[in-house]
Every structure is written in C-alpha cells, then in structure tokens.
Amino acid sequence: MPADEIVARRALVAGRVQGVFFRDSCARRARAEGLAGWVRNRQDGRVEAWFEGRPQAVENLLAWCRQGSSQARVTGVEVAAERPAGLSEFRVQ
C-alpha cells in the first residue's frame, strides 16, 4: 500500500476497559482489518492503542473502541492523528 494511503491514530479509551478482554478483542479486530500497531493498559486505568493502516480500517477500529469488548463499559475515547511509524504487525503490549 502506498505510504500516502496510510493513516495513524492514537486512542485513549476510558471506562471499565482493563481486565475485560479489551486488549485481546481489540487486537483480533485490528488484525482482521489488516492494521498494524499496538494496544496496552496504562497506569491510569485507561487503554491506549495505536492503529496504522487504511483510513476506513482505522475508522472501523476507532468506532469499535467507542463500544469496546462485551464486558467493557467505555465512557470516553480521545483520538489524536499521528504520523505513521511504518509498523508491520499488531501487538498486545
């Protein structure tokens, strides 16, 4: 995919998002969409994610983050546009 067709977004997801399979579910969905990046728990109780790939696939994952896994209770999502880092896989950190 040409580099000019790749976007990157950082998401900070608040609510009950740790200990409810959020990261694992997020990684499965990101891989299914063909995205690269990562997802990790933060000390402040939020989950942070980096999505990199086709614009529509990234938007699909951001929309999913607003709902979360079946046991999650998302109360807010902050999204920031970032410069793509050239990642090639999606990992749970």
Averages of pLDDT over runs of 10 residues in the chain (93 residues) are 81 96 97 98 98 97 95 97 96 97
Catalytic residues: 23, 41
Position 22 scores a pLDDT of 96
- Tell the CATH topology of 3-85: Alpha-Beta Plaits (3.30.70)
Q: Is the full-model pTM beyond 0.75?
A: yes
Position 92 scores a pLDDT of 98
Question: How is residue 89 written in tokens?
Answer: 């896989």
- Nearest to 32, CA basis, from 68, 64, 1: 64
